[in-house]
Amino acid sequence: MNEAATYDLERKTRVQKIVRMVFLYTMLTLFAIFVLIPFYWMILSSLKTPEQIESVPPALWLRFSEMQFSNYYEAVFSVDSQPFLRYMYNTVIVAALSTAGTVITTVLSAFAFARLNFRFKELFFLLLIMTMMIPGEMFVITNFITVNQLGWVRPDQTYWDALMAMSIPFMTSIFYIFFLRQTFKTIPDELYYAAKVDGTKDFKYLWKVMIPIARPTIITITILNAMGTWNAYIWPQLVTSTRHGRLYHYQLVSNGLRNAFSAEFQPQIHLQMAAAFMVTLPILIVFFLLKKHIMRGVSRSGIKG
């Protein structure tokens, strides 16, 4: 290797490095655009007039003065609009109920699995693992029958019935029990023994030591569960559907959204998109506020399997 060769090699590696970086950022930017486009198009369309929506080719952006913010007002209050505020209210209540239930049942049983010794523990745990592999549709069928037989789904369904039907079946989650048990397991045994020596009761130990330590995980579970309700479509549709003459304003946002302004031959796309963005925005806000918790939680849940 002589001087000139060395110089060439140096230059070649520098060039290679630059080319690589250009490639990396180009690809990442392209895919980032791909990810962002639906959001952009949703917002853009929600601010167009019906004429602008239909114009060919479509406008790729709007001047501020052209933006029809009134679409949002119309989407909520027009004659043929869905009662969105009502749906949001329903969704928040159902999310609160099912999340509170999930957190309580999850914390208690994760504690039992992580900390206590009891007969059939291994067996029960194995049963839970196997259950996780079974598609949820297997349960849905019987659950549908069950809520019917409990009288929660009737033609004269009350609001309370609907809330029960939508939240109670989702007040526990095997996956979250696992997730939290893993976190509880990382708390050293010595802490528990020390507490026992001091005569601390199990429940107090759980409340004063384990829950505070596992708080990030519990927050993650809370957020993910609440987001799950926000995005729930199938089950609410099933147990509050208008098909059998039930009252439709017990539904949740996703159901309301799907049925909004989508009459087959004249969908009102500008209003549809305004509604879609109104449903999307709250989760985006929650996401940006609690980004760390959510992203960490999701990536950890992936690793744990």
| Closer of 202 and 249 to other proteins (Cβ) | 202
| Closer of 93 and 105 to other proteins (Cβ) | 105
Interface of this chain with other proteins, residues 275 to 304, rule: CB under 8 A: 276-277, 279-280, 283-284, 286-287, 291, 294-295, 298-300, 302-303
* Cα gap 186→224, rounded to integer Å: 22
Interface of this chain with other proteins, residues 61 to 120, rule: CB under 8 A: 101, 104-106, 108-109, 111-112, 116-119
Residue 104 Cβ vs other proteins, minimum distance, rounded to whole Å:
7
Among 63, 134, 188, 212, binds other proteins (CB under 8 A): 134
* Cα gap 99→220, rounded to integer Å: 11
Interface of this chain with other proteins, residues 138 to 197, rule: CB under 8 A: 138-146, 148-149, 168-169, 171-172, 174, 177, 192-193, 196
* Cα gap 92→88, rounded to integer Å: 6
223, 286 Cβ separation under 8 angstroms: yes
Count residues contacting other proteins (CB under 8 A)? 111
172, 102 Cβ separation under 8 angstroms: yes
102, 173 Cβ separation under 8 angstroms: yes
Interface of this chain with other proteins, residues 198 to 227, rule: CB under 8 A: 202, 227
Point out which span in 5-13, 76-84, 180-188, 208-216 binds other proteins (CB under 8 A). Answer: 5-13
Query: Environment class of residue 84 by beta-carbon count within 10 Å: exposed (0-12), middle (13-18) or buried (19+)?
Result: buried
* Cα gap 305→179, rounded to integer Å: 9
